[in-house]
Amino acid sequence: MAMAIRVSLLFFLFLSSSLLVFSLYEDQAGLADWHQQYLGKVKQAVFHTPKAGRKRLVVSTEESVIASLDLRRGEIYVITLSSKGSIIRAWNLPDGQMVWESFLVGKKLSESSLLTVTDLKVERDNLILVYSNDCLHAISSVDGAVLWNIELKSVELQQLIKPVSGDVMYAVGISGSSKLHAYRFNIKTGELLNQDVVDFPGGLSGEISLVSSEILVALDASRTELVLISLKDGKISFQKTNIHDLVPQFSGEAALLPVNLEGIFAVKSNSYIVFLRVNDQSKLEVVDKIEDSSAVSGALSFKEDQLAFGIVQQGGSQIHLTVKLGSDYSTDILKESIQIDPNRGTVQKVFINNYIRADRSYGFRALVVMEDHSVSLLQQGNIVWSREDGLASIVDVTTSELPLEKKGVSVAKVEQGLLEWLKGHMLKLKGTLMLASAEDMVSIQALRLQSSEKSKLTRDHNGFRKLLIVLTKSGKVYALHTGDGRVVWSTFLPNLRKSDTCENPVALNLYQWQVPHHHAMDENPAVLVVGRCGNGIDAPGILSIVDTYSGKELSSLSLTHSVVDVIPLPFADSTEKRLHLIVDVDRNLHLYPKTPEAAVIFEREYINVYWYSVDAENNMLRGHGLKSKCMSEIADEFCFSSRDLWSIVFPSDSEKIIATVARKASEVVHTQAKVMADRNVLFKYISKNLLFVATVAPKGAGEIGSVTPDESWLVVYLIDTVTGRILHRVTHHGSQGPVRAVFSENWVVYHYFNLRANRYEISVIEIYDQSRADIKNVWKLILGKHNLTSPVSSYSRPEIMTKSQTYFFTHSVKTVSVTLTAKGITAKQLLIGTVGDQVLALDKRFLDPRRSAKPTPTELEDGIIPLTDALPINPQSYVTHALKVEGLRGIISVPAKLESTTLVFAYGADLYLTRLAPSKTYDSLTDEFSYALLLLTIVVLVAAIFVTWIMSERKDLRDKWR
């Protein structure tokens, strides 16, 4: 019998090792992660359509992205992020490689502009003229060398004008608000030929458009008068005309559109776009006026000495594209109507391009940028492709559970599923034993994608399928499926769109509004969208309630008060609507939802509501509590006034607040006790009222390296926000920000720069509660022989102990987060967004403050890792693998129902989602587990046991006959 067991074990080990050796990883791509690339709102677009070769569309966006798109499908070829500052770069169009880079030096930061004097050919004489840092620079198009530069003191350059012939160039700018400057240069040498300055009474708005080589147009400071500027030999003359004299129906403030047509320019107001012409007598006359829901393209050269431009007008679900001849406004070259999704809003910009049809006539295509930041390519009356590039500007993320799967499955589906199940496992078995052909491997991958059921719109038992509800800068809300990243629904909220009542809406945050369960299962979950009508902190607020299953806006409200902060309360009414307090600029609090039931629930917890505010400008922290109902002319039972409980003012001559971080209210802590290897117990000091604050020396608030180590220091605080008590304070001399930090359970990790060591560092602080230090071992904890008389309250002076440690870190960090799981049992990992736009998962054990160079056997038993001066960076620890999340801004962790697993979502210009198991999948079998192989192994083991048992019996019988 012993022999049978040995043989069975050997066979089982052989099968197990075979499974590991022959496992495949390439075919797992896309099963548990997805990556999507977006661009952001397009600012400029250039069509590159040579007669031979690949046709491209090169765009630059508000997210600092430069991209080359496939003109047929809209797929991205190359993306590169351009840094802010005075840098000019040239890129190779086919592959996006940088050809050269030049740094433009100047004394003062200013708005920049760029002009290519001639077509970019590989000749040193062809110049690129750039205005930056109060200087005009001439740069070689071949190698980026700065050939000459001229300082323009305190002048904001508006236009660079190259005359039709000769080497003379005009530069026009504004200083202050009323002085108009004109400079006349030699392009090749940079020699200043002459200059003229004219003081314009009443001032200018700062916008100047080019009408011809010697005529420009501007708006006065009130934006109600047009100023026609004439340049002859560098001398300035001007005349002004009231817009109402030209267009009596004109209303509001005017803005100039960059049409760049010879003799024609366009002015936009609240109601109209008006085209005007400069006639032979240098007078202005109206050419045409169209409704404001339109966009006008720049001029396009499509024939010899022929210019065209496009006009897009919108009406309902249709947009009308008209291409006109530049020299004859009355001539329409093209007129088309295209059906478009009204959920995209209105057209914001349009860029046109021409092509030659099969009959040798000229056709036109147009790229339109919509209000929700999406882009579409229009051609021959159809939408060729569309891109949801608003997803590149996510401002907040939350999650929603999917609906439950309905019961009841047909017999045919079961039979089909059984056949597919057998077929799939036979194919997997062939793949495991390396017997599968290339076609079989393709079938295996397809079956895996199909059997994963990751894209179903119902809940799964592991909690991997969810909806990511994201709010974008444009005010559009999207629901993304965690399975494959597709857009399930999108809603462009009406009250977050620009309108006559709200000129500048701003999207702020998302909050869980209704999370139905138990007795409220008939209700759909909903989210609260918070916005503001204006950029100022005192602007009135905007609220919207959105159903997360359908995307339907259930209700909306334009508030009469501002929104400074939103405090989600841990209470819900009978329909599972969560209570929220909205803090306005006067520190009054407004309760939502405004229902009698919510008021009754809130009044029971009235005295237990505290919050804090951070005034970084005045270097101050304040703690607040509720006082009474608001005292106003109109009685409001849902409005409450506040009182200041405490304040901390940091000395402005030595400290400046640069970062604050608090614990996530949704974080689950499994246990307060931490059992050591020597059987002692440490109790974590867990409080949702703790705040991490980082301050630096005022001189050290600038860029890294701007001060010496002796002039800079970093001070971090742990502060109780209920009492204002400083629980811990530590100073890092010779250190500087920026500080990236994350607070979880009883520890905080923060990243900064050490000027003395000239390296980045990560520090960790762990806090423990000493009031329960009499509990010496785990047996007292289990048997209940411990002291629970000490109240857990912010008002009882805590007896705390801190442990801290500092490590060198090789990367600059953009953002940092931590993994969250359903019960908080699984080990934590830090999610670090690196400067290379990747996400690194670092085990929290590497940041244990108890690490030492020579840990004792007891510490080794407790899992303490020997101390090294730097934190290890394992290439396999990158969550994003070889991919990048360009423009990475945030990382969130979403717990699954499976305790071992969390979903990690990283967003920036790109989006990336994956599953992460910090302690491995200890509570489940992987998707790659072969049940067929397990069944085969069991059958073989049983057969082996039976055969060896018979052999053993025969051997015993032979031994007895001897």
Do 908 and 887 touch, CB atoms closer than 8 A? yes
Distance CA 399, CA 470 (A): 8
Q: How many CA atoms lie within 13 A of 720 on its CB side?
A: 18
Written as one letter, the residue type at 659 is A
Distance CA 883, CA 885 (A): 7
434 sits in the region (left: phi over 0; alpha: psi -120 to 50; else beta) called: left
What per-residue confidence (pLDDT) applies to 420? 64
DSSP secondary structure code for residue 899 in this structure = T
**pLDDT tens-digit profile of 16-32?**
433 333 333 444 556 77
For the chain, residues with pLDDT lower than 70 are 1-30, 77-86, 106-125, 163-165, 234, 292, 406-425, 428-429, 431-435, 444-453, 518-521, 633, 677-678, 772-796, 926-928
Q: What share of the chain is helix, strand, coil (3-state, %, to 5)?
A: 15, 45, 40
Distance CA 174, CA 182 (A): 9
DSSP string, 283-318: -EEEEEEEESSEEE---EEEETTEEEEEEEEEETTE
DSSP secondary structure code for residue 844 in this structure = G
Distance CA 237, CA 206 (A): 17
What per-residue confidence (pLDDT) applies to 114? 62
Q: How many CA atoms lie within 13 A of 584 on its CB side?
A: 18
DSSP secondary structure code for residue 706 in this structure = S
Closest to 449 (Cα-Cα) out of 36, 35, 37, 32: 32
This prediction has a pTM of: 0.85
Distance CA 391, CA 471 (A): 8
Q: Per DSSP, what are the bridge partners of residue 581?
A: 567, 591
Distance CA 241, CA 219 (A): 10
Distance CA 795, CA 816 (A): 31
**pLDDT tens-digit profile of 781-819?**
555 555 544 555 666 677 888 999 999 998 899 999 999
Q: Per DSSP, what are the bridge partners of residue 167?
A: none
Distance CA 648, CA 720 (A): 11
Distance CA 871, CA 868 (A): 7
Distance CA 175, CA 173 (A): 7
Distance CA 363, CA 356 (A): 6
What per-residue confidence (pLDDT) applies to 408? 44
Domain ranges of the chain: 570-649, 659-783+797-809
What per-residue confidence (pLDDT) applies to 521? 61
3-state secondary structure of 247: coil
Which ranges of 764-826 would DSSP assign to H, the alpha helix? 778-783
Rg, C-alpha atoms of the chain: 34
DSSP secondary structure code for residue 782 in this structure = H
Written as one letter, the residue type at 149 is N
How many separate helices (H) and strands (E) can be counted in the chain?
Answer: 8, 62
Distance CA 141, CA 137 (A): 12
3-state secondary structure of 467: strand
